[in-house]
Amino acid sequence: MLSYRHAFHAGNHADVLKHLVLVQLVRYLTQKDKPFWYVDTHAGAGAYALDSSYAQKLAEYEGGIGRLWARDDLPEALAEYVALVRRFNPSGSLKNYPGSPHFALWGMREQDRLRLFELHSKDARLLRECFADAGKRVIVEAVDGFAGLKAVLPPPPKRGLVLIDPSYELKSDYERVVQALKDALTRFAGGVYAIWYPQLTRIEANDLPQRLKRLPAKGWLHVALRVNAAAKDGFGMHGSGLVVLNPPWTLHDTLAEVMPYLVDVLGTDAGAGYTLERSED
């Protein structure tokens, strides 16, 4: 659990999908005047240098944000996401990639708050440094995100968005996600919960979306992006997805426009494709 560093994967196709959805969720929640909390259970380091040895080792960003960076035909929602990444790169060259908390904070207002959890000691320190000037709006805790989530629900304003995206390096993470959400929905039934998962040739990964759909939320939306066919040897991540519990009603139509484009631009072979479904279908 403590060995995972997102710096190796920053800006890849999974980040594109996750952050695209996150931007849309924050946009929806800010339409009402009442404040809300954003809770990130696995917040990472907060920012990533794409020219670092970590990012360059795999250069996964080249198959993600790198393929969108110079496009002039982006659908509106994707253009909004890429514009935020450009905000992190004032020189005009793609050198840095923001973590999830930045995408959330950029769309939030003065009355909204962020609670960020990161267990990895070095990443937690970097995360604090990233938001040192944010004052009381952002609180960073170097603790296990699942335990941290339990401690902050329900949030004081009774409105909130929770992002759960562990590394899933341990098989037990899949079960912990489900149990954490069962508890969270008991404490805070009306919250919006976005759960990221990897597409792997592993039973736990394949079963997770179905398990999340069965949780007692008012509704769900499931979106997944496959960039290539699963490897015959079963190694590697061929895509990723998110299940959003209590999703905004607008999210499905936005993703219906964007997902075919992402398949065309980020897909690498005939196995590329997407899934988009919701509870009322």
- Residues 48, 97 contacting (CB under 8 angstroms): yes
Q: Annotate 168-224 with DSSP letters as a single string.
A: --STHHHHHHHHHHHHHHHH-TT-EEEEEEEE-SSHHHHHHHHHHHTSS-S-EEEEE
Q: How many helices and strands, by DSSP H and E, does the chain display? A: 10, 10
Q: Three-state SS for 148?
A: helix
The closest of 142, 141, 117 to 40, measured between CA atoms, is 117
- Residues 84, 110 contacting (CB under 8 angstroms): no
Preceding peptide of 198 cis, ω within 30°: no
269 as an active site residue: the answer is no
Of the candidates 40, 165, 207, 264, the residue annotated as catalytic is: 165
The closest of 99, 98, 97 to 61, measured between CA atoms, is 97
Distance of alpha carbon 116 from alpha carbon 188, whole angstroms: 18
Residues involved in catalysis: 165
